[in-house]
Amino acid sequence: MKAVLLYSGGLDSTTILYALLAHNKQFDTIVVNSKDAVKKIELFPLMINYGQKHSVELHFAKQILQANKLTAKEYLIDWSSFRGQAQPGNQSAVHPHRNMMFMTIAFGYASLVGADTVYVGWNISDDADFPDCREKFLETFQDAIRLSADNKKLFLKAPLLKLNKAEILAYAQKYKVPVDKVWYCYRPQPQTSTYTPCGQCYSCRLMAEAKSKEVKVEGDLIL
C-alpha cells in the first residue's frame, strides 16, 4: 500500500507519521512476498509552502524526516495576492478553502506516485475555525475526489479527527514522538541561531493546555 502524508512538522502530522512508522515496524521481518507484506505502508510525505508566517515549521519538519531517513516532496503556492483574515479564537491568518486546495494537490501527488490514500492531521481543535477540516467536509471531499478520478478506492484519512490536543499529545508520547522537536507556534520568535515559540498565540496556548493535562489512551490509532 502507498500513502501520501500531508506533513507540516507539527504535533498532529508528526504523531501520524510516527504511528505509521510504528505500524510498518511490525512487518520488518516479514518476507516480501508474504500476504502480510501488503499491509506495510510505503509513505510519501508532502509539505506545502504557501508563504505561511510560521514557515519555520518546514525547517523542523525536514529535520524530523531526516532523522527517520525520509524526504518530502515540497510544493510551493504563491498566496501573496489573497491573504485570509484572522478568525476569532485562532489569531493566525486563515486562508479560505486552504485545506481543500491542499487535498487537491495531495491527491494529484498521490496519483503520480501510485498512492490511493492521503493522511491528514485534522482534529477537534481545528473544527471551529476551519470548515474544511470537519468530518462532513472529509466525507464530501472523498466522494468528490473519487468522482474526479473515476476511482472508488481513493481514501482521505484523518486518524486524529475526533481527538483533542491532550489526547493527541498522549498518542505522541506513546509513539515516542520527539515532542520538543515539533513546531506548533504561529508567531515564531527569532533567536541567534534558531526560533522559539511565542508562548502566547492560539496554538501555543493550546499546546500548553494539553501539556497540563494527564491523559491516557488505549490501543493504537486507527490508520
Check if the beta carbon of residue 190 is closer than 8 Å to that of residue 209: no
Question: SS3 for 200?
Answer: coil
pLDDT in the model for residue 35: 61
- List CB contacts of 130: < 8 A, sequence separation 6 or more: 94, 98, 99, 122
Res 193 pLDDT > 70? no
Tell whether 84 is covered by a domain: yes
Res 139 pLDDT > 90? yes
Tell whether 13 is covered by a domain: yes
* pTM exceeds 0.85, yes or no: yes
Tell whether 223 is covered by a domain: no
Give the cell for residue 108. 494529484
Query: The domain containing residue 31 runs over which residues?
Result: 2-211
| Segment 63-106, tens digit of pLDDT | 999 999 999 999 988 766 655 554 444 445 466 788 899 999 99
| Rounded distance between C-alpha atoms, residue 41 and residue 64, angstroms | 19
pLDDT in the model for residue 88: 45
Tell whether 219 is covered by a domain: no
SS (H, E, C) 33-101: CCHHHHHCCEEEEEEEECCCCCCHHHHHHHHHHHHCCCCCEEEECCCCCCCCEECCCCCCEECCCHHHH
Check if the beta carbon of residue 103 is closer than 8 Å to that of residue 46: no
CATH number at residue 127: 3.40.50.620
Res 203 pLDDT > 70? yes
| Segment 5-48, tens digit of pLDDT | 999 999 999 999 999 999 998 877 655 555 665 578 999 999 99
Nearest one of 19, 74, 30, 69 to 52, comparing CA atoms: 74
154 or 90: which leads in pLDDT: 154
| Rounded distance between C-alpha atoms, residue 148 and residue 145, angstroms | 5
Res 55 pLDDT > 90? no
Alpha carbon of residue 3 to chain centroid: 13
Res 124 pLDDT > 70? yes
Domain count, the chain: 1
Question: SS3 for 165?
Answer: helix
Tell whether 222 is covered by a domain: no
What mean pLDDT is reported for the chain?
87
pLDDT in the model for residue 116: 97
Tell whether 218 is covered by a domain: no
Check if the beta carbon of residue 165 is closer than 8 Å to that of residue 184: no
206 or 84: which leads in pLDDT: 206
Res 220 pLDDT > 80? yes
End-to-end CA distance of the chain: 12
Tell whether 195 is covered by a domain: yes
Give the cell for residue 188. 515564531
pLDDT in the model for residue 96: 74
Radius of gyration of the chain (CA): 17
pLDDT in the model for residue 81: 62
Tell whether 220 is covered by a domain: no
